[in-house]
Structure 1
Amino acid sequence: MKKINSLVTFLVLLTTLFSFAQQKPQTQKVKVTGKVIEKSTNQPLEYASVYAQNTKNPSLVSGGMTDAKGEFTFDVPAGVYYIKIEFLGFKTVEFKDKAINSDTNLGVIAVTEDSKQLDEVVIIAEKSTVEIKLDKKVYNVGKDMTVKGGTASDVLDNVPSVSVDVDGNVSLRGNENVKILIDGKPSGMIGVNVAQALKQLPADSVDKVEVITNPSSRYESEGGGGIVNIILKKGKNQGINGSVTGTVGHPQNYGLTANFNFRAENFNFFTNLGYNNSISPGNFLRNSEYLDPNPGSPTFIDEMRENDRERKGKNNNFGLEWYLSKSLTWTNTIGFSKNEGGNPENVTYYNYDENHELINIRNRYNDQTNESNNINYSTNFTKNFAKEGHKLTADFSVSGNHDNDFSKIEETLDDNSGSVITGTKNNQKQNRTMVQTDYVLPIGKGQFEAGYRGDFSNMLTDYAVLENIDPNTNTGTINTDLTNKLDYKEKINAIYSQYGGKIGKFSYLAGLRFEDSNIDINLLTTNEFNNKKYNNLFPSAFLTYELGEKSSISVNYSKRINRPRGRLINPFSNYSSNIAYFKGNPDIDPSMTNAFDLGYMKQWDKLTLSTSAYLNHTENSFQFIQRESGDFVDGIPVIETTPINLATEYRAGFEFTLNYTPFKWWKLNGNFNFFRNETQGDYTYTDYQNQVVVQNFDNVAYTWFTRISSKITLPYAIDWQTNATYNAPQTNAQGTSLGVISANLAFSKDVLKDKGTFTLNVNDLFNSRKRIFDSNLNSVIAHTEMQGRERQINLSFTYRFNKKKTDKDKLPKTAGESEDFIGG
């Protein structure tokens, strides 16, 4: 840790010295004023943008926006400037080589409508909901009405190539080995449970989402399926501006989010605040047939579960970007979140004999409560040198997460024989530190990059099952067979270098990343200590050829790793069902993926097409197997689900994304993904009867999913958006997932001269978003349906002050954003 502190101190001093060394005496500043009006009406034009750039020193940039009177004012050092005045739908006015040596009034500037630009106003004002680039897709959340009042999990479930299942697990192109980032780096919220953290982050705090299917060496190598980067809102418009959104919904959903920023000459302050109070009903169904039951045990069991996920949460983020000089910027952000709630589950088992005659009814009520606290801090220094593109950045972040769960489980039979009360305790604590520095040097028509990144995290999980609980004190006897304390420590150090450039119509980028991993997995309860230490090289290569002005083809390769964490390695049991549970595997190893991608992009006037054929070859891939645990409940065998490394996996597919605007009042976005998944491997284990069981997991599965989004402007300027998704059936060695179709619907209307917006949306219109699975084991055949959240209806109102709906914030580069040549 001392080395890390020394490194950060050295980088700060280094960038500061560079700054002072290059600073020149400041020339006297002068004031520039003027007024902008609409020529046809002579009315003042509010929110017009005024931009001024020094012609001899392009790094000197200033400007502002007009006020309600159409007037503007800003200060610049004396010199010669290029000045332009812009407003959406109007022709740009330019002043070239304008000498500004003393206070200058540019006078009244009349702007005229641009008929050509007005025809394109819808596209310019809103930008594409999906921006397609060769190396990534950028999804602009602010344009999606269907996620208003929802969570980040809802946002990701509408992103092309991305899917979120009923448990909140994120997959990219059908691959769940995905790295989730917030603002380009792991967040404190993402420590223990990614799915749960995404449900705690309000959708209205998210500005856009980057989907990177094949990252370069600059990015960390984690995530065999790629990277999903969630970028939060950080306004940078001049002056004080922002927006507030309030939401009410059914089932219960009350939310309030706000984002503000204050931009001055030497600093920019921004903040996001959010509160949510919601109840999300869910349900579960499993019909099981036991093929060889014990005498007197049920042959058929129907399990019905209903739950109400309750959550009250606060999320607060504050940031300050300080312009220490014209070439040195220092940014600090701090975030707090506190969430509490519960997930009461009512589970009923209907037990039948071989003739399907009812034997008895067993009820299990799980009263689960949760409290989560998160804090994170990050700081960034960016030093820009005299040559354009030449820069040095240094990042440091630290985060902490505390998550405490307690469940009191009461079981009763319909024979009034009394009840048995058990419970579970799951307390998790995580701390994470990240240090990163990146150096970028333009060389001719190319660019060289190099950097270091250190990730250091520690997670302590204390899980216990309590029996014979006293309902008054919630204390009981610890079941040592199902109790464990896990101490997980991870230290990853990485260095990378890459070079990219352009020769004629060819663009190229090649890089190499080295990562050293040192991981401790310590089971403190059983005194089992395991250290895994390894290092790997991760090459990447990208090649693009411009077929024409608006079309290109690319070939990409990268090597990735997926390290098991959290529930995958923790051997505690999920005790929500006493006849089926999930158990982690502390001996599981990381999987390695070689990813190949062939892409093509073509743009027409109203249509953009992006296609990709891809192949992922993974060694030691994670698979979830089901087996008899050897335990019985009233003669019923308990089924255990656990992850294992299952030899080799081949995943090959084809996808395309379309952005089509047939008319200026109608936009269509579509995404289709077809893939073939092949696993090769055998799993051998010794069952509870001491018999060796060999399961062959060789399997080839074909499946596909598609998503389409339509946005239409109706009469009276009402926007109507519809999203529909279909996930086709998929088979594996132990069963089949059935196909599921779902849809979201939303209407939106601007009011108060576009400063306010009402939005009504329906999430899961047909109440059909479920996971439906048929499994076939040697001892049991089961049909399962799971719905994490039932249909949700929300009404939201957004009010913007000093900021129109069409204003676009300029966002700073985050630590995870790349300067790659591929994809612009």
Structure 2
Amino acid sequence: MKILNQLLPFLMIIFLLAIQPIQAQSQVNDKPKYRISGKVIEKGKEEPIPYAAVALIDAETGKNVAGAVADFGGEFVIANFGEGTYQVQISFMGFESFNSPAISIGPDKPTIELGSISLSTEAVALQEVTVMGQRDLIEEKVDRTIYNAENDKTLIGGDATDVMRRVPMLSVDMDGNVSMRGSSNILVLINGKQSAIVASNVADALKQIPAEEIKSIEVITSPSAKYDAEGTGGVINIVTKKNNLQGATLNINSSAGLRGSNLGLNANLKQGKMGWTLGGFGRAGYNIIGSFDNNQMVTNADGTTLNILQSADTRSNMMFGRYNLGWDYDIDKYNFLTASVSFGLRNMNNKQDGLLTDTYLEDQLLTSILRDVDIRNLNNNVDVNFNYTKTYEKPMKEFSISSLFSQNNLTNDFVNSIYNGTFEDVASRIKNNNLGRNREFTVQLDYVNPIAKGKILEYGAKNILRRAESDFAYFIGQGTDGEFVQIDDTAFSNEFSYDQNVTAAYASYTSSFLKNYSFKGGLRYEYTAITADFRNSELDTEIPSYGLFVPSLNLSRKLSNGNMIKAAFNRRVQRPFLNFLNPNINAANPQQISQGNPLLDPELTDNYELSYSTFTKGMTINFTTYFRNTTGSIQPVRTVMDDDVIFTTFENIGQERAYGFSIFSNINLSGKFSLNGSIDGYFADLNNGLSDPLYAASNQGFVLSGRLFANYSLPNNWQLQAFSFARGRQVQLQGFAGGFGMYSLNLNKQFNEKRGSIGFGAENFFTTEFRIRSELSTPTIMQQSVMGMRNMNFKINFNYRIGKLSMEPSRRKRRGVTNDDIKEGGESNGAANMNNN
């Protein structure tokens, strides 16, 4: 019965797929069956061009009447239009556009087969006018949704966090934490790889990647067995700008504003078989001010109420940098080598000035304490990649070996100064030093073998060795100049190490059948061994090893009018790591102490998904509904300590369910104006399964978010773009995290034959300060917090390219390591961890 309950949602999806042909046929019979079909291929190679954009244009008015997107085999079908005379236009990035002669279609000739249509590779010459086909900002592919960030000019001067806020199905809070359909348990890859900096803290890693270097963001909601089993919410792949061009270029991009500035230089050199890339990007944030208010009510055992009021002004300064050196070499026609080294740094200094804490028992003031808090969050990281790829005469057959070494060094300290009535008299100081290091080494083998037409077998193996360390200590100093003395307590001063060894193997099979159906199924097995140790104490940290079988199943059907319906099921696991495990006690705010839990178990999630995509009259629409059931969900849990301090740690709660939907659309209203937007929503139901009324907790509610983007091309190479985003409050086990919104406007002008651009941007220009309200509710705690941030910003953007390139046809796909196996997150006000806050 338990197995039947797990499979029931997916059986319902299969039933919907089965009846869809009947429904589709009944709808089609009411209309004339006019259709145009064909296949798009690359000239000279006769290989298909997947996902090429096909538009049907009225020959008299020039208006876009209908359209389609080519499938993986390059085939397309245009339907849902009336009789008339038309032209077929086909375009794809990197190829010259195709325009057919006039085509007449009517009752005497309802169907037209265009056959194979060849597209020639498009030449690029930067010393002349650049000709580039404009792709849609959002693309829907068979297994993923793609946001083409390179077409969004409002992102100039921003970073990957700004890009993520524009992507359908993703939500980003004010601290940069990313979630997909309400789940923060996601895998984030960079060009198919994950480094230690991403594993340590996604929010900080995204701030190091300039928006100008991002080509696209790929959202994979139902990953196949090829991907690591972790990441219950799905996979996000950040694709940076690569090229297969010959020649040398230098690109300069910069931005200067009221609250942040950046400068980046990137150079490329490709001569013959060898290519080099060298780049660097630096970003500074300053003048970031805000406020903090907290109202905390605790019910004592005798029934009295303790009320704690806190307020402070906040200041933040930050500096981010990322530098890389890449190399690739074509050994021969079938063998290729790639290698890269990248360095990153992040320096953040957060201050709470005049943190006033007033404590009342009923209406009587007990204490009034004044503090200053200074938090330093610093890190540097290095990634080294080396990959070998072998292709074969047989198309799509490929073998690859990939390796990755990554290390992230972290410093996460704070000093808490307690004043004796006035800011001139320091009574005492508390200091916490937390030095951390995360190191990993990965080797991965992948083999792709097309065993027949439309049938592909993939299998591989992978091993990840990780070691995380945290050396933490607390010190107390008297007065302004008193020497700091370490606290002799292993709970406050200790060394913690955490070793994880993950060995995995997978097999995946893809097949097309019954003409319009596609199937992709796979099975992955992972075995995890973990050891943890406190050097200065004998705390019990024995963590058992475990093995997991992780199935995945994807099924799609292409309808007769070119639309598509897809269904998917997969099981995912989320191992706790880093932020959730670190036992360092974070007491930067003494009224809200937090600590990680080294004994957390992994959480297990079953995902069911059904989606429908359609294209009609220049508009793309996608509807998706899903159900996600998680057992052992890792959630923050708060209790009250003896001194009325709220203590936060992490536990595996009983169950978390999410019932959700998403709708997004991309509309081309004319050749100059486009509009796209999305709405995401889900109903969250959380329950820790406990019966004791003092500790039992449950919560439920709807969560909604939405975004809207508009682009308008003006005469003389001017472009105007606008963006807005809003997210409702998030449901947590013991309360809610506040919602927020933001918006921006950008105006850019291209010059010197489009080699350069200069523009002006404005962000949140009607709002002086955003205020985000959150609340916590338990049988003994009621808390309301308000965080304010002044993020109104005005900026000037500048870009310029130097050099000359010519296009060389691509001969292979790049392979790389993809580690996707850790639960990220924590809370900005108290998640003590090795590498955050």
- Report the TM-score when normalising by structure 2: 0.78
Q: CA deviation at 1:672?
A: 1.0
Closer, same or farther in 2 for the Cα pair 1:760/1:203, shift >3 Å? Answer: same
Say which is worse superposed, 609-618 or 411-420, in terms of deviation: 411-420
Taking a change above 3 Å as real, the CA distance of residues 789 and 180 of structure 1, as seen in their structure-2 partners, is: farther
Letter matched to residue 374 of structure 2: D
Mapped pair 1:721 → 2:721: yes
CA distance in 2, matches of 1:303, 1:216: 48
Letter in 2 for 1:202: P
1-structure distance, mates of 2:586, 2:764: 28
From 588, 594, 611, the counterpart of 1:576: 588
Residues 372, 287 of structure 1: alpha-carbon distance in 2 compared, 3 angstrom cutoff? closer
Question: In structure 2, do the counterparts of structure 1 residues 314 and 775 end up closer, same or farther at CA, with 3 Å as the change threshold?
Answer: closer
Q: Distance in 2 between matches of 1:664 and 1:156?
A: 26
- Match of 1:430? 438
Partner of 1:117: none
Match of 2:193 in 1: 185
Asked if the contact 1:754–1:804 (Cα under 8 Å) also holds between the matched residues in 2, the reply is no
Matched, 1:340 2:347: yes
- Aligned counterparts of 2:364 and 2:708: Cα–Cα separation in 1: 46
> Deviation of residue 224 (structure 1)?
0.6
Counterpart among 473, 493, 510 of residue 500 in structure 1:
510
1:586 is matched with which residue?
A: 598
Paired residues of 2:618 and 2:669 also in contact (CA < 8 A)? yes
Contact 2:194 2:818 in 1 (8 A): no
1:136: which partner in 2? 144
CA distance in 1, matches of 2:602, 2:95: 53
1:326 to 1:761, Cα distance in 2 relative to 1, 3 A = same
Residue matched to 1:712 = 712
Q: Distance in 1 between matches of 2:337 and 2:657?
A: 45
Deviations 1:158-178 (A, max 9, x none): 221111212322110111111
1:316 pairs with one of 323, 328, 332: 323
Give 1:209's match in structure 2, choosing from 217, 230, 243.
217
Report the identity percentage: 23
Q: Do the aligned partners of residues 54 and 442 (structure 1) sit closer, same or farther apart at CA in structure 2, a change above 3 Å counting?
A: closer
Count of residue pairs the alignment pairs up: 703
Which residue identity is paired with 2:155? Answer: V
443, 463, 466: which is aligned to 1:457? 466
8 Å CA contact 2:252–2:264 kept in 1: the answer is: yes
**Partners in 2 of 1:806 and 1:414 — Cα distance?**
70
1:515 matched to which residue of 2? 526
Shift of 1:231: 2.1
Q: Which has the higher contact order (CA 8 A, sep 6+)?
A: 2
> Matches of 2:809 and 2:331 in 1, distance apart?
25
Q: Which residue of 2 aligns with 1:488?
A: 498
CA RMSD in angstroms comes to 3.4
Structure-1 separation of matches of 2:145 and 2:551? 22
Offset at 1:261? 1.5
| Cross-structure match for 2:28 | none
Does structure 1 retain, via aligned residues, the 8 Å contact 2:584–2:595? yes
Q: Deviations over 1:682-727 (max 9, x none)?
A: 347xxxxxxx763332333222111111112245443222222222
Other-structure match for 2:154 = 146
Note the C-alpha offset of 1:783. Answer: 1.6
2:667 to 655, 660, 664: 660
C-alpha change, 1:145 and 1:758, in structure 2 (3 Å) is same
Q: Aligned pair 1:756/2:773, yes or no?
A: no
- Separation of aligned partners in 1, 2:770 and 2:387: 41
Instruction: Give the Å deviation of 1:639.
Output: 0.3
- C-alpha change, 1:609 and 1:378, in structure 2 (3 Å) is same
Superposition deviation, residue 524 in structure 1: 2.5
Shift of 1:378: 0.5
1:738, CA displacement in angstroms?
A: 4.5
- 8 A contact 1:452–1:496 mirrored in 2: yes
Q: Which residues in structure 2 correspond to 1:533-552 (within 5 Å)?
A: 533-552=545-564
1:209-248 Cα shifts (integer Å, max 9, x gaps): 2111110001111111111112223232221124210111
Q: Which moved more, 1:383-392 or 1:273-282?
A: 273-282
Q: What letter is aligned with 1:496?
A: Y
Q: Which of 473, 476, 485 is matched with 1:467 structurally?
A: 476
Task: Tell me the distance in 2 between the aligned counterparts of 1:455 and 1:202.
Answer: 28
* Secondary structure of the structure 2 residue equivalent to 1:204: helix
Residues 354 and 189 of structure 1: is their aligned pair in 2 closer, same or farther, counting only changes over 3 Å? closer
The one-character-per-residue Cα deviations of 1:706-763 (angstroms, maximum 9, x if unpaired) are: 1111112245443222222222245455333444332222222212221111232234
How big is the shift at 1:764? 3.9
Q: Which moved more, 1:274-283 or 1:550-559?
A: 274-283
- The answer to which of 717-726 and 371-380 deviates more is 717-726
CA contact (8 A) 1:740 1:768 kept: no
Post-superposition offset of 1:54: 7.1
The structure 1 residue matched to 2:227, chosen from 212, 219, 234, is 219
- Partners of 1:544 and 1:226 lie apart in 2 by 18
After superposition, the Cα gap between the structure-2 partners of 1:652 and 1:816, relative to the gap in structure 1 and judged at 3 Å, is: farther
The alpha-carbon distance between structure 1 residues 618 and 420, as it changes in their structure 2 partners (threshold 3 A), is same
Alignment deviations for residues 500-558 of structure 1 (CA, whole Å, 9 cap, x no partner): 11111111111100101111222333233323310100111111111135211111111
Give the conservation status (yes or no) of the 8 Å contact 2:568–2:610: yes
TM-superposed CA distance for 1:661, in Å, is 0.9
Deviation string, structure 1 residues 587-627 (Cα, Å, up to 9, x no partner)? 21110011111111112241111111111111101121211
State whether structure 2 residue 700 is matched by structure 1 residue 700. Answer: yes
Cα drift, residue 356 of structure 1: 6.3
Paired with 1:742 and 1:806, the residues of 2 have a C-alpha distance of: 39
Residue type of the alignment partner of 1:494: A
Q: Which residue identity lines up with residue 704 of structure 1 in the other structure?
A: L
For residues 292 and 520 of structure 2, the distance between their equivalents in structure 1, rounded to whole angstroms, comes to 50
Give, in whole Å, the separation in 2 of the partners of 1:799 and 1:748.
Answer: 13
- Contact 2:476–2:487 under 8 Å retained in 1: yes
Q: How does 1:45-124 map to 2 (within 5 A)?
A: 53=44
Aligned runs of 1:367-446 on 2, under 5 Å? 367-414=374-421, 418-445=426-453, 446=455
| Cα distance, 1:465 vs structure 2 | 1.8
Q: What SS is found at the alignment partner of 2:380?
A: strand
Please list the CA deviations of residues 241-294 of structure 1 after superposition, one character each: whole Å capped at 9, or x if unmatched: 24210111112x231112222222212222331122222625343332535469
After superposition, the C-alpha distances for 1:177-208 in whole angstroms (9 at most, x for unaligned) are: 11122221211322322222222333233222
Cα deviation, residue 792, structure 1: 3.2
Per the TM alignment, residue 298 of structure 1 is displaced from its structure 2 partner at its CA by 9.4
Name the structure 2 match of 1:797: 798
Q: Secondary structure at the match of 1:215?
A: coil
Moved more, 777-786 or 651-660: 777-786
- Deviation digits for residues 375-403 of structure 1 (CA, Å, limit 9, x no counterpart): 11101111111101111011011011111
Distance 2:694 2:362 in 1: 32
Q: Is the counterpart of residue 255 in structure 1 residue 299 in structure 2?
A: no
SS in structure 2 of the partner of residue 387 of structure 1: coil
SS in 1 for 2:725: strand
Compute the displacement of 1:453 (Å). 1.1
Q: Which residue of 1 aligns with 2:831?
A: none
- Residue deviations 1:753-776, cap 9 Å, x none? 211112322344435655421222
Instruction: Say if 1:757 and 1:469 are closer, same or farther in 2 by CA, change over 3 A.
Output: farther
Q: Deviations over 1:454-504 (max 9, x none)?
A: 111101011222112686697322262433322011110110001111111
Q: Is residue 2:593 matched to residue 1:601?
A: no
CA gap of 1:330–1:362, structure 2 versus 1, over 3 A, is: same
Question: Is residue 635–residue 733 contact of structure 2 (8 Å, CA) maintained in 1?
Answer: no
- Match of 1:813, SS? coil
The equivalent of 1:784 in structure 2 is: 785
SS in structure 2 opposite 1:414? coil
